[in-house]
Amino acid sequence: MALRITVDVFSGRPNPTVELEGTEADEALERLRPVRRLSEDDLGLPSEPILGYRGLVIEQVGDESVEGFPTTFRVAGSDLFGPGLAHRAADEGFEDFVIGSTGLLRRLDEGEDFVELLQAEAERFRHLRRRLLRPHFVPPPWARRCGCAPVRARMVECTGPPGR
């Protein structure tokens, strides 16, 4: 059984890819083992395409595949996404295992600047997911902007003096 791990980061050129076989592939899948299903409160993936880092694409290649994993799935943060798969990975640091300063991508010998670029892109993607996907405050129908609250305050029922 073999795994192909592709860093989904580029749009106009081939993405960096590392292939693992045998024990290395088994260890990687053990790190990716789903430990809990994601809830509605957990972050998903952006619904619209974005530029830059978009996670890791994991492909089971060859004749054998491991049950419990789709043939192809995505890792974003510590979350796994694919057909029938929306779970938290056992190893929440798997992305760092691949693109970190001592990660698997060192095998490609692309240089320190490249690894730093990928790390910065991964961090940008984490912030983007949190910003785009966090639950938004929707005021209840009875709420109105409180005249005595600061301009940027949430919609609340006013308890201050009338006319303000």
Q: Are residues 150 and 103 in the same domain?
A: no
Averaged pLDDT for residues 153-160: 50
Residue 62 to residue 60: CA distance in whole angstroms: 7
What element of type H or E holds 88? Answer: strand 85-89
Question: Are 108 and 148 part of one and the same domain?
Answer: no
Cα dihedral 102, 13, 4, 77 sign: positive
- 108 CB-near residues (< 8 Å, 6+ apart): 16, 18
- Is there a single domain that holds both residue 147 and residue 120? no
Boundaries of domain holding 13: 2-133
Task: Please enumerate in sequence order all residues whose Cβ is within 8 A of that of 39, keeping only pairs 6 or more positions apart, or say none.
Answer: none
pLDDT at 154: 45
Say whether both 82 and 147 belong to one domain: no
Answer whether residue 162 shows pLDDT above 60. no
Residues 85 and 142 in one domain: no
Tens of pLDDT, residues 56-82: 999 999 887 888 899 999 999 889 999
Same domain for 119 and 146, yes or no, is no
Residues 144 and 65 in one domain: no
Report the predicted TM-score, pTM, of the whole model to 2 decimal places.
Answer: 0.76
